[in-house]
Chain A
Amino acid sequence: MELTYWWILPLAAAAVAVSTLLYLRRRRPLPTRPVAHGDRLTGLPEYQHALRRYRIRLVLAALLSALFLLAAAITAARPALRSTEQPEIRNRDIVLCLDVSGSMTSTDAALAAVFKDLAKEFDGERIGMVIFDSSSVQLFPLTDDYDYAQEQLTHAEKALVDGAGWFFDGTWNGEGSSLIGDGLASCVQSFPDADTNGTADTNGNEDTKRSRSVVLATDNFVSGASIFSLSEAGALAASKNVKVHALNPSDMDYGDDPGQPGAQLKAAAESTGGSYSTLESPDAVPGIVRQVQETEATSYLSAPRSVVADAPAWPLGVALLAGMGMLVLGRRTGL
């Protein structure tokens, strides 16, 4: 708690002192009527009682007005809260990268549902969505229009649950199916300010400081020739500071041969600094997404920055209460 214009306080004190001085000097006695035998009234116990209450009220009124003045002066001095914040927490970009081949729809639906819920809590994050099979379709680009994103995610969830319809149009334009490398690459490309040089901009402009992550849901069963292999796509992601969090609903790896699809996916994800998780069932999706969210949140705390915010609430509140108290007293006392 500090005061932005601390010099207002001595100024206000001086003003109060000067006005008090002027008042005392120029005060004229109020016109009173002279009466005799005042003890006819002042001797009454009722009067003494009333006088005591009257004095208490006057003292109270004086205290309240002093409090009011003090609170008003403090408010005028603009009390501010200096706090340290980590504003970076909230500027993440997340692209949902969903493999919509037949085996994946239930996981995709769960993911869409989870992000639909998450979008309600988003504030500053941007979310985008890309679906792919043999070719990729950007369902919606990175956006902070959460209503829109939510609407799209609702559509997506519905379509994914139904498993058919126009929703999947445009995902079979290539040869083969489940071209994971191409899908991931196009997801990475959907970050709008992708550096053309392909080098990570570590000390660069503001926008690249936004954390980027791709939530990739795939089983990594590729059939067909893709332009980007998975590892190339991973390298591309790494070069653009994009973390890939892979979710694999059907990790069928046996042993620790690195050539197996699950291991490849894991290697690609971890090469970008992301994570890899396998899913036993679509029900586990929310938990994993939360986990990913949390690691993202902790890993993107930037250097604490001090923030000064006005905090006029409590002095204004005190002034308000004091003013109300004075009004009540004034009504009751007839001042």
Chain B
Amino acid sequence: MFIFAHRRTLSLLDGEYGSVFKGRSLDFDELRTYVPGDEVRDIDWKATARHGSPLVKRYVAIRRHSVLLLVDTGRNMAAEALSGENKKDVAVHAAGVIGYLACRHGDDVGLVHGNASASRYRPPKSGEEHLERLLRDIDSSISPKTHPSDIAEQLDYVLRFIKGRMLVVVVADEVLPDARTADLMRRLRARHELLWLTVRDADLAPGPDTPGQQDSMDVGTGHGIPLPLAADRAVRAAYERAMNERAEQRGALFRRLGIAEQQATGSDDVLTAVFALLEKHRSGALTSRGGAKRGQGAD
């Protein structure tokens, strides 16, 4: 498993991804006329015979790609996930799985994380030790006492400061992107490969037999939500309607932007969610190759 790249890598180091450079690989790219200096063994003799002048075969060089983990480490991530775990654990788990896949694939892994007030960047490097450091970074910076989350800051940071093409994997919660965020996502999608893994938020109005039978506290605002209110039948019905609507809005937005998005409810299904995300991204690549710029129908 690896993250499929729609576009060729700009990296110079050897790897597994098709590069913008020519080199030695199994991936035939083109024929061109021989110029002095080309290696004689590259000459395609059959083509030369048909053509009359020497032609050389050119292959796509395979190079490394950089995977950039873009993780929300604001206060919101210290809250509860749908499974009842801490979203932080789910996020670390997801980042770990993606990073490990990238490591095994021989890619570099970098990290951008932060909250509404600041973003931090750890440049891509190879090796599991580096990945370990990144995961520790994520783990230590998420706490209920940090600044609130704003994923738009991190998106903006990547757009502003990170040159080159990367495989950007966003790990965030169930935020409903506003217009500015959507615009940033669109621009990011145009420049990089963008994958979006959503860690689902806790059910705010759980039914009587489900976990979460206690008062809730919004980590963002600090307001409490008394359980009797959340358990109220009318409120629950309205909440369910609103959540369906919200999920539809989110789905429509990601579809419109052509970003592969997958949701993980807890640590248990992080693995399946990541694989489904990679598969979705790859197949989205196949179907939207032609119209990748506008990206209709990523799934």
Contact = CB atoms under 8 A, between A and B. Distances in A.
Interface of A: 30-42, 44-47, 50-51, 54, 333-335
Interface stretch (B99-107, B239-247, B275-283): B239-247
A46 B216 contact: no
User: Top 6 closest A-B pairs, CB basis?
Assistant: A38-B218, A36-B76, A36-B79, A46-B238, A41-B204, A32-B217
Interface stretch (B50-58, B186-194, B222-230, B264-272): B222-230
23 contacts: A32-B217, A33-B80, A33-B217, A34-B79, A34-B216, A34-B217, A36-B76, A36-B87, A36-B201, A37-B76, A37-B175, A38-B220, A39-B221, A40-B204, A41-B239, A42-B225, A46-B234, A46-B239, A47-B229, A47-B238, A50-B234, A50-B235, A334-B227
Nearest to A40: B204
Main secondary structure of the interface of B (DSSP, over half): mixed
B297 interface: no
Which of B217, B223, B239 has most chain A Cβ within 10 Å? Answer: B217
A41 B215 CA distance: 13
Contacts of A335: 228
B201 to A, nearest CB: 5
A32 B232 CA distance: 18
A34 B174 CA distance: 15
A41 to B, nearest CB: 4
Contacts of B212: 33
A35 B80 contact: yes
B174 A37 contact: yes
Contacts of A334: 227-228, 231
Given A41-B204, A50-B229, A54-B228, A35 B235 contact: no
Nearest to A332: B228
Interface residues of B, number: 43
Contact of A54 (B78, B79, B87, B229): B229
Contact of A35 (B202, B231, B242): B202
B234 A36 contact: no
B224 A41 contact: no
Contact of B239 (A30, A33, A40): A40
A35 B78 CA distance: 8
Given A34-B78, A39-B221, 8 more contacts: A30-B214, A32-B214, A33-B202, A35-B201, A35-B202, A35-B225, A36-B219, A37-B218
A33 B226 CA distance: 11
Contacts of B77: 36
B243 A40 contact: yes
Contacts of A36: 75-77, 79-80, 87, 149, 173-174, 201-202, 218-220
B94 interface: no
